[in-house]
Structure formats: C-alpha cells, structure tokens
Amino acid sequence: MEVAYYQDRFLSSTDELAIPIQERGHQFGDGIYEVVRVYNQKPFMMEDHLKRFERSADAIMLQLPYSREEMKAIILDGIQRSGLDNVDVYFQVTRGIAPRIHLFPDTPAVFSMIIRPARELAPEKKQNGVPVLMLEDERWANCYIKSLNLLPNVLAKQHAFKNGCEEAILVKDGFVTEGSSSNLFVVKDEILYTTPATKGILHGITRKAVLQLANTLKIQVKEEHFSPSFLKAADEAFITSTTAEILPINKVDDVLLPTDHTVTKQLQQAFQSLK
C-alpha cells in the first residue's frame, strides 16, 4: 500500500489531487528532499537523513514547518499505515504556496511525503555489476544541497540509460565527481578512493556508512580527486545510494573492469549487518 501526506494530513490515496498550481516547488523547484530506506519497519540511518535535510534547509534559507521529532513521528506513522515491512520514504519541503515571483514569499513552508514499496535491484546486478557512462557534470556548484532542482541529473541518467548503462558518472574540470544519483568509490591496490565531500557532491548517507564500514574492516581510504583514466584503470569500482545500496561497476564506457569485486563484496556483506 502506498501512503501520501501533504500539508498536515494524510491523503486518501496517492492519486488525490493536492498541490496547488502556485506551489513554489512546482514552479521553481524551490525546496529540498530526502529518501529513507526502511528495512523490516526500521528506517535506516534516519537521524543522518534528517540532519542532512536540516542542513539543506539552512543552505537555502528555508524554515522547516516541523521539528525533527515531529517529522520523525509523521514518517513513522506513515510507515505503520503502509502495512509493509520494506519501503522507500520520500519527503520534501517547499517554500510554500504564493503568487509566482522570484523573491521569497511570506508564506509557511509545506511538507509532503510518499511511502511506497521498496525498489529492489535485480540480484544479478548486485552480484555481477552494472555498466556506467561518463558524462560532463553540468550541475550547479552546490550539489551538497539535496535540492528539488534535478534536471541535469535526470538528463544525464536518461542519456546513460539510452546507451545501455545503469548510471551516469559525472566529470568536472578533469576530475570525477559522482553519479547522477549516487556516490562513487574506486578500489586500486587495495585502497578505497572516493571524491572528497565538498560542495560539489552530495554527502551521501550510504557513502557515510561505507566509510564507517571500511574503517571497521581496516580498509585504507583516501578521499581525494581522481581522473576518468584512474576510474577506467580501477581494480574495482562501485556506486552507493539509498536505493541501490552498494552496486558494483563492471564497465566504464567501453572499458571492462575486473569482476573479482573482493573489496566490494566485503563491504556489501558488512552493509547487510547494519540493516
């Protein structure tokens, strides 16, 4: 069962019309969002998601309509209403409903949420890996903000899909940044590399979990910038996200990567223990 929430109430169904035409999120993409994975009715790293949500709100000068505890209560209520054990929770806040002008309106922000069955990747993808396509990173400078403005990400993902790839890996000023909807890790000589958490990438929650697991497993980590050629010469590579978890890469453009995935599998197994 899918569950929807908009502006202080649960809706009768996800098909119920709710968003006014002069909604800032609809007209400007003026808002932020998060996606939380729920395993066996337990939200995974929800506190980290909510902290990042608050940081994104601060970054765009948006006053959240609820406290962290109030948002938690709404999310947990929605999970229970769904009657499902494993779900994806999408929630967002926009700057509200007002006549369309660029300046911030004096209106209350609006919280909305949808809960649906968790999207599961095919087991063979998690086992064997997926192909990716490298593209120019055409996004704005503040990708650490989880903004509703995702058109460059959508275009990159669609371009990758049309070329038979699972994800687009983005490159800016000669260095790899991240995926269109994921963070990227590379293994070379048993060292785990990932782009530093600057303003230019999303500070992924699954990325954070992987770094913590690497520390536990005594895997050396280097957070530093690397080139497309370094990625193509990797011993292993994988992407991370809330919905994909830890997903190996088996091909970058036309270059096949090794399929041993030893470190990746270690991290995948360790990640399962966190759920």
Which residues are catalytically annotated? 146
Angle formed at CA 210 by CA 261 and CA 268, multiple of 5 degrees: 40
Beta carbons within 10 angstroms of residue 111's beta carbon: 20
Is residue 98 within 8 Å of 105, Cβ to Cβ?
A: yes
Residue position matching structure tokens 């992924």: 204
What's the CA gap between 33 and 218, in Å, rounded?
33
Which two structure tokens, joined as six digits, stand for 33? 């969002």
Amino acid making up residue 26: H
What's the CA gap between 32 and 54, in Å, rounded?
9
Is residue 109 within 8 Å of 64, Cβ to Cβ?
A: yes
Q: How many helices (H) and strands (E) does the chain have?
A: 8, 15
What's the CA gap between 181 and 157, in Å, rounded?
8
Is residue 197 within 8 Å of 189, Cβ to Cβ?
A: no
Strand partners, 36: 89
